[in-house]
A and B are shown apart, each in its own frame.
Chain A
Amino acid sequence: MNSVIKYFKDIFYGVSTLWAGMRVTGKYFVSPGQIVTQKYPENRATLKMADRFKGEIIMPHDDNNQHRCTGCGICEMNCPNGSIEVLTNRVPNEDGKVVRVIDKHVYHLSMCTFCGLCVKTCPSDALAFGQKFEHAVFDRHKLTKILNREGSSLKKEVKS
Chain B
Amino acid sequence: MQSTIYNFHDLTGSIDSTLHSWFGNTGTVIAEMVLVGIAFLTFYALLGLFLVYLERKVCAVIQNRYGPNRVGPMGLLQTVADLIKLLMKELISIKRSDKFLFNLAPFIVIIASFMAIAATPFAKGLQAVDLNIGVFYVMAVSSLGVVGILIAGWSSNSKYSLIGAMRSGAQIVSYELSVGLSLLAIVTFAGTMQLSGIVESQADGWWIFKGHIPAIVAFIIYLIASTAEINRGPFDLAEAESELTAGFHTEYSGIKFAFFFLAEYINMFIVAAIGATVFLGGWMPFHIGSWDAFNHVMDFIPSMVWFFLKAFFIIYIIMWFKWTFPRLRIDQLLTLEWKYLMPLSLINIIIIAFIVLMGWHF
Smallest Cβ-Cβ distance to A21: which chain B residue: B324
Interface-lining segment among A22-30, A45-53, A98-106: A22-30
Number of A-B contacts (CB under 8 A): 36
Interface-lining segment among A33-41, A109-117, A127-135: A33-41
Is A26 in contact with B320, judged by CB distance below 8 angstroms? Answer: yes
Shortest CB distance B253–A (Å): 28
By a CB distance below 8 angstroms, the chain A residues around B323 are 25
Q: Please, how many residues of chain A have a CB less than 8 angstroms from a CB on the other chain?
A: 15
With A21-B324, A22-B320, A25-B324 as known contacts, state yes or no: A35 contacts B65, CB within 8 Å: yes
By a CB distance below 8 angstroms, the chain A residues around B63 are 28
Shortest CB distance B337–A (Å): 14
> Of B61, B65, B325, which contacts A18 at CB under 8 A?
B325
Contact code string B167-183 (vs A, CB < 8 Å = 1, else 0): 00000000000000000
Shortest CB distance B218–A (Å): 15
Residue B313 CB within 8 A of the other chain: no
By a CB distance below 8 angstroms, the chain A residues around B66 are 35, 37, 39
Is B62 in contact with A29, judged by CB distance below 8 angstroms? Answer: yes
The A contact surface, by secondary structure, is helix
Residue B93 CB within 8 A of the other chain: no
Contact code string B50-78 (vs A, CB < 8 Å = 1, else 0): 00000000100111111001000000000
Is A37 in contact with B65, judged by CB distance below 8 angstroms? Answer: yes
Shortest CB distance A47–B (Å): 16
Residue B340 CB within 8 A of the other chain: yes
Is B64 in contact with A35, judged by CB distance below 8 angstroms? Answer: yes
> Of A11, A18, A25, A37, which contacts B62 at CB under 8 A?
A25
Counting from the closest, the 10 A-B pairs by CB-CB distance are: A25-B324, A25-B62, A37-B65, A36-B64, A21-B324, A29-B62, A22-B324, A35-B64, A32-B61, A34-B64
Could you name 8 residue pairs across A and B whose Cβ atoms are closer than 8 Å?
Answer: A11-B340, A22-B320, A25-B324, A28-B61, A29-B58, A29-B62, A32-B61, A35-B61
Which A residues have a C-beta under 8 Å from some C-beta of B?
11, 18, 21-22, 24-26, 28-29, 32, 34-37, 39
